[in-house]
């Protein structure tokens, strides 16, 4: 019998002939939880409270990225069993084999507690690898903003069900998403992963999202979801993100705090298993001005007692320990409590009511808190029970391993790929269409391209190098932003939404020379006032391949998108708007819900 087969079929204890109560699937869930908690040491409980990053590779080797220890060390020495998978393996089979190697190592520990693997979104298009993963072999869909542009709860649920199957195939059992923050501050860098500006639409879509991943209730075929970022991470001061010191303040000039809770209420009603509070500290509210994960009024008072959430609360990544991310020094994000030492930061998080420390691997801090009498062991038990309960519900104790051959067949199979590509096309949103420029009916026109792969475009027309020689110009651009320094910080698109003057002059010159179709990828609400009247057609996209774009342009696919937020008319209007209030920029260029059809 192989080690893997032995680990699957035998209890981890030395009593091979005895099925311990926590290993007995016929017993009630709470009986199993009680039995296992009663067998755990303080060190084993402390390890359970941490979830940090891990990357595919030899499990006995440390990963230099962000100073991550080896999987062998974190599982065997630190008693950790929750890990956020970074990047991907060279191929699906390798990823599945790596998952099994981790689970085999976990099965060999004293209690044999299986690993829960989590991931940031990995079925979309992303420019920020600090908050999402590249799709790789997984099916590729528009961003959640694109799903919101389509506006179909059924499609969102189908997407989530597809991603669930792909995650399950490689052993990922926790989605560090959905993100239901509201896009009420147009400058914020993380709008691209939201469902947009409208709270009611976001609430409807997140319910379908959770159903698709989790099912009617958590079970062996579920992927748990971690809804974020409670109580809504959208209203950032000047749109700056609280990953960084200058973005730590979350503001409510419109006294509109409760509006941002609407999607979270919907998520809880849909059975959300986990929640993640954001980094920010509320300013100008009745709540203490400290980061949400340190804030007992927010976590225990609002989330648990008022909203009735009794699932797992995991902090956002890196609240305690100063570190380096992608070569950039990053302080622990203890906003409002920067003066506290690491031990006191951990204490405040537990006292607030959080169950798990995200992006940290510091069990020794919790052990010291117990040894000093600052945190009771019974307090650890409350969170350990929640975390173990989910592992049991997911069936990880019965089947922690994945079928390597099946993984290769499931991830990115043709049906999943086709569904994602169809959604990409549907999400395109036509904003203007002068004299029905779209769809293009001319057979093989001469095409001038910017931001479009000429190899792909050659199937639709003759590619030329000069706009003056073209029948049509096809331009694909990113929403403007102000570049930031540093390896990590540079990934966050923030600042002005205006097209820079030099680029705007260039675009207007092309549009004057040849009928032009401009597609703007909206990861934030770009200001298009200076170009909207110059182009023959203006299109918005939210994650779509060049082939998808060209199919829409040439009428091989029907664009069905509608704007999931207002598009402001000017930066002055953005700066004058209230960060917590939706649809608050004066006289927007295009309204939420705008989108033209071909017929």
**Residue given tokens 């057609």 in the structure block:** 537
3-class state of residue 590 by DSSP: strand
**Residue given tokens 């009593």 in the structure block:** 15
How far is C-alpha 552 from the chain's CA centre? 27
**Residue given tokens 């996209």 in the structure block:** 541
**Using CA atoms, how far apart are residues 192 and 234, in angstroms rounded to an integer?**
11
Q: What are phi and psi of 280, to 5 degrees?
A: -60, 160
Instruction: Identify the burial level of 241 via C-beta atoms within 10 angstroms of its C-beta, where 0-12 means exposed, 13-18 middle and 19 or more buried.
Output: buried
**Using CA atoms, how far apart are residues 108 and 81, in angstroms rounded to an integer?**
13
Answer whether 557's CB lies under 8 Å from 512's CB. no
Instruction: Identify the burial level of 532 via C-beta atoms within 10 angstroms of its C-beta, where 0-12 means exposed, 13-18 middle and 19 or more buried.
Output: middle
Q: Which residues contact 491 (CB under 8 A, 6 or more apart)?
A: 127, 128, 129, 130, 131
**Using CA atoms, how far apart are residues 409 and 407, in angstroms rounded to an integer?**
5
Q: What are phi and psi of 273, to 5 degrees?
A: -85, -35
Is 316 part of the annotated catalytic residue set? yes
SS3 content of the chain, % helix, strand, coil (to 5): 40, 15, 50
Sheet holding 472-478, edge to edge: 429-433, 537-541, 516-521, 472-478, 446-450, 462-464
Catalytic choice (198, 316, 523, 584):
316
**Using CA atoms, how far apart are residues 125 and 476, in angstroms rounded to an integer?**
15
The partner residues of 16 in beta bridges, in order of sequence, read none
User: Which residues carry out catalysis?
Assistant: 316
């Amino acid at each position: 019998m192989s080690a893997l087969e032995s680990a699957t079929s035998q209890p981890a204890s030395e009593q091979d002939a005895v099925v311990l109560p926590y290993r007995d699937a016929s017993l009630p869930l709470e009986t199993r939880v009680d039995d296992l908690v009663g067998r755990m040491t303080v060190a084993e409980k402390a390890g359970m409270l941490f979830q940090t990053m891990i990357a595919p590779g030899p499990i006995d080797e440390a990963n230099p990225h962000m100073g991550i220890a080896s999987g062998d060390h974190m599982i065997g020495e630190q008693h950790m069993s929750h890990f956020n998978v970074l990047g991907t393996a060279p191929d699906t089979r390798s990823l599945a084999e790596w998952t099994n190697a981790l689970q085999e190592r976990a099965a060999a520990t004293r209690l044999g507690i299986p690993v829960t693997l989590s991931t940031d979104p990995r079925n979309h298009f992303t420019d920020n690898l600090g908050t999402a993963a590249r799709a790789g072999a997984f099916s590729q869909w528009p961003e959640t903003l694109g799903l919101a542009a389509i506006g179909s709860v059924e499609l969102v649920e189908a997407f989530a069900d597809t991603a669930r199957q792909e995650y399950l195939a490689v052993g990922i059992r926790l989605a560090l998403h959905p993100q239901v923050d509201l896009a009420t501050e147009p400058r914020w860098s993380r709008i691209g992963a939201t469902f947009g500006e409208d709270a009611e639409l976001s609430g409807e879509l997140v319910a379908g999202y959770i159903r698709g991943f989790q099912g009617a209730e958590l079970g062996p075929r579920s992927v748990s979801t971690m809804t974020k970022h409670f109580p809504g991470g959208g209203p950032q001061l000047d749109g700056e993100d609280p990953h960084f010191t200058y973005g730590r303040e979350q503001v409510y000039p419109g006294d509109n705090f409760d509006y941002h809770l609407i999607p979270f209420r919907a998520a809880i009603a849909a059975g959300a298993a986990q929640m993640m509070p954001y980094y920010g500290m509320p300013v100008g509210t009745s709540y203490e001005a400290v980061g949400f994960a340190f804030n007992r009024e927010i976590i225990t008072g609002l989330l648990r007692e008022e909203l009735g959430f009794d699932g797992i609360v995991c902090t956002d990544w890196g609240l305690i320990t100063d570190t380096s991310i992608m070569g950039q020094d990053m302080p622990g994000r203890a906003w409002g409590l920067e003066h506290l030492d690491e031990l006191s930061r951990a204490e405040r998080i537990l006292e607030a009511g959080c169950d798990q420390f995200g992006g940290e691997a510091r069990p020794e801090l919790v052990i010291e808190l117990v040894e000093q009498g600052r945190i009771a062991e019974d307090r650890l038990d409350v969170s350990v029970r929640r975390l173990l309960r989910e592992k049991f519900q997911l069936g990880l104790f019965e089947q922690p391993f994945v079928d390597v051959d099946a993984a290769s067949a499931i991830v990115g199979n043709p049906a999943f790929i086709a569904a994602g590509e169809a959604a990409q096309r549907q999400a395109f949103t036509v904003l203007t269409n002068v004299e029905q420029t779209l769809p293009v009916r001319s057979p093989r026109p001469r095409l001038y391209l910017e931001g479009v792969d000429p190899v792909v475009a050659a199937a639709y027309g003759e590619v030329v190098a000069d706009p003056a020689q073209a029948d049509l110009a096809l331009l694909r651009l990113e929403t403007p932003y102000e570049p930031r320094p540093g390896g990590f910080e540079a990934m966050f698109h923030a600042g002005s939404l205006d097209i820079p003057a030099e680029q705007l002059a260039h675009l207007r010159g092309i549009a004057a020379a040849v009928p032009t179709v401009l597609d703007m990828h909206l990861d934030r609400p770009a200001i298009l006032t200076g170009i909207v009247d110059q182009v023959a057609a203006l299109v918005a996209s939210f994650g779509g391949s060049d082939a998808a774009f060209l199919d829409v342009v040439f009428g091989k696919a029907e664009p069905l998108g509608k704007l999931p937020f207002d598009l402001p008319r000017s930066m002055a209007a953005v700066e004058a708007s209230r960060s917590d209030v939706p649809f608050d920029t004066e006289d927007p260029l295009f309204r939420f819900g705008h989108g033209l059809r071909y017929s």
